[in-house]
Each structure stands twice: as structure tokens, then as C-alpha cells.
Amino acid sequence: MAIPERLRFGSLAVEPALILAPMAGLTDTVFRRVIRSLGGCGLIMTEFTNAHGVVAHRGGPAAKNRRRPFNYLHYEPDEHPIVAQLFGSDPEVLADAARVVEDAGFDGIDMNFGCPVKKVVKCNGGSGLLRDLPLAERILKAVRAAVAIPFTCKIRTGWDEDRLVYAQMGRLAEDCGLQGIALHGRTRAQGYAGEADWDRIAALKQAVGIPVVGNGDVFSPQDCLRMFRHTGCDGVMIGRAASSNPWIFRQIRQYIATGRYDRPTEADRYRLLSDYYRRLARDGDKISGDPLGKMKQFAAYFTRGVRNGARLRKAIYRVRSQEEACAAVSEFFEGQLGAAA
């Protein structure tokens, strides 16, 4: 069941070849460090970050006095290797933001050409740029010229089925000097509906000489192995599955090594959720959102499939403080574990 042990984006070595996808509102420093602590993930990425925000907040009294701290790019030393993902549509602003990222010590930069969210696309960001390849080229060239650290991008297959541009984007990325490309196997029009087309990931792998990372519909270790085999990709990127099952990277490593993997017990889930909540309470000033809001958001993801999980979700949705949220978790799991004893 051999798969690539290592993936290289230029000087950046990713080992194992498994990547945590950038996810808005989720992959902040607290969640990333939880993933790191569980093992098995070779590379983590920030939330996708507005280049205009990076440039506007890069320093000075005006930045320090803003009501909300700009923490999208905050990371801790134990998160390396870590890549910052940017989005935007202005080549000069993106180049400036890339310089900020490089100066901050990130191991690489990734450009988002895949986000399907309407408010991002209407500003020509994310997958909106798949409709304007000349602008995409100017962006890639500007950022590549601005920094020396490894540079990659993440794309979708196209705007819709009539405008598939993944092969053109792959060749464009390679010609502009990028060290890798990740492909989510859906169009922008699909959003997250339907199935990701892994055949297109395989086709992109054949079309370019730079590393190709596959993304889309990997929800289990078995799915991950199938993607590697089906596409011949150099690495696999996992997003939504990690929000409900943060152990997935470790499970993939176990499955590849032994053909089996451990599933988390209720005690494991209790420890992880409690640890995540404690980290949020302690490091709330290092994230971009409200810690209590994050607690409620994560409960919605993490409790799917948990026995009586709906009861825990309802309890957490009702709380009004971080302390109440932590207490609700303890009460729920201690009751569950006590009833099972």
C-alpha cells in the first residue's frame, strides 16, 4: 500500500505527503496545533487570508488600534512547516502581502484560486479568477517575483463544466515558476455538491511537471489511498473531514503501515474537545474570531456521529460564556462515560 512518503515544493519538504487544507474560520493557530499534536500531518496552512487585510494591518499605530486584531497569520514556532494562503485580485497588493508573509517566517505561500463563496467571487477573488487567466498570470508572476520562498496555488477544475481550465492553470503555474499545485476536483458551480472528479486530478498530473496535490472527497484512510492510486498525485489535501475527525491524518498513516487504524473512543473525544476548548480560552487573543463562537462552531462539526451528540450541540449552543461551554462538555462526556461503565 505504498504511497509517496515525501513531497517537495522546492526547498520545502512535506513528510508525510498529507496536507491540512486551508479552511476559513477553522484553521487558525489553535486548530492547527491540535492537528499537529495528533500526528500524521506533513503540512498545515492558515485560513485563506485577504491580501488587502495583510497589507493594511502590517504595522503602525493604525493597525494596533483597530477594534479587531488581525490574527489570520498568527502562528507558533511548533507549527512549522506552515504555509500562508492568500486571496485577492490585485497583483501589486498580493505581491506586497507575499512579502509580509515571507518576512513573518512562513515556509511557503499558497494562492487561492478555488474558494467558491459568492462574496469572494464577486470581488474576482478565489475561483472567480478562473474566468480571467490573463489576470491570474499577472498575479502569479508578481508574487513569484516578490518572494524567494516556495510558492504554490490551489484551484478548482474550472468555473463550470463549460469552462474547465485546470490544465491551463497547471501549465500557467509551472511556467510562472510555482513549485506545486493543488486541485479540488469540483467546479466553482458545484460548490461542495456532487462528487469530486478524480480523473481530472490524474489528467493534471500528466499535464505538468510540478507536484500535484489531490483534494476533494477524502473522508477516510481508504479514500486517501484510493486517491493516491487513482490519480498518481504527489500528495493529498484534506479539509472537511479533519473538522469532524481530527485524527484522520494519524489514521491514514496507521492504515498505510498496517492495513488497520484506531478509531477514537468517547474518552478520546472528551480529551480532544476539552483540550481544544482550553486552548481557545487560553489563546483567544491569537485568533481572528470570537473564542466562544469558535467553540459553538466546532461543536457542530465534531459532535456528528457522537452518541447523543445532538444533546451536546444543543447544550453548547445555549451557553453564554467559555466557562459554561467547557462545563457543558465535561458534564456531557462524564455522564456518557459513567453510564457506559
The alpha carbon of 190 is separated from its chain's Cα centroid by a whole number of angstroms, namely 19
E runs forming strands in 15-121: 18-20, 44-45, 49-50, 82-87, 108-113
Q: Give the per-residue pLDDT at 338.
A: 74
pTM for the complete prediction? 0.93
Active site residue 115: yes
Exposure string of 179-191, with b = 16+ CB inside 10 Å and e = fewer, is bbbbbbbbbbbbe
Q: Give the per-residue pLDDT at 339.
A: 67
For residue 217, report the phi and psi dihedrals to the nearest 5 degrees.
65, 35
Q: Give the per-residue pLDDT at 53.
A: 93
Q: Give the per-residue pLDDT at 301.
A: 85
Q: Give the per-residue pLDDT at 145.
A: 98
Q: Give the per-residue pLDDT at 69.
A: 53
Which one, of 257, 27, 341, 10, lies nearest residue 151 by Cα?
Answer: 10
CATH of 7-258, one of 3.40.140.80, 3.40.50.300, 2.120.10.30, 3.20.20.70: 3.20.20.70
Q: Kindly report the CA angle at 64 between 60 and 66, in degrees rounded to 5?
A: 120
* Torsion angle of C-alpha atoms 249, 251, 255, 258, degrees rounded to 10: 120
For each of the chain's 341 residues, which pLDDT tens digit applies? 567 889 999 999 999 999 999 998 899 999 999 999 999 999 999 999 999 999 998 754 444 444 445 789 999 999 999 999 999 999 999 999 999 999 999 999 999 999 999 889 988 899 999 999 999 999 999 999 999 999 999 999 999 999 999 999 999 999 999 999 999 999 999 999 999 999 999 999 999 999 999 999 999 999 999 999 999 999 999 999 999 899 999 999 999 999 999 999 989 999 999 999 999 999 999 998 899 999 998 888 888 778 888 999 999 999 999 999 999 999 999 988 876 65
Please state the domain extents for the chain.
7-258, 266-340
CA 31, 227, 164, 175 torsion-angle sign: positive
Q: Give the per-residue pLDDT at 178.
A: 98
* Torsion angle of C-alpha atoms 133, 137, 142, 145, degrees rounded to 10: 160
What's the CA gap between 27 and 218, in Å, rounded? 18
Q: Give the per-residue pLDDT at 289.
A: 85
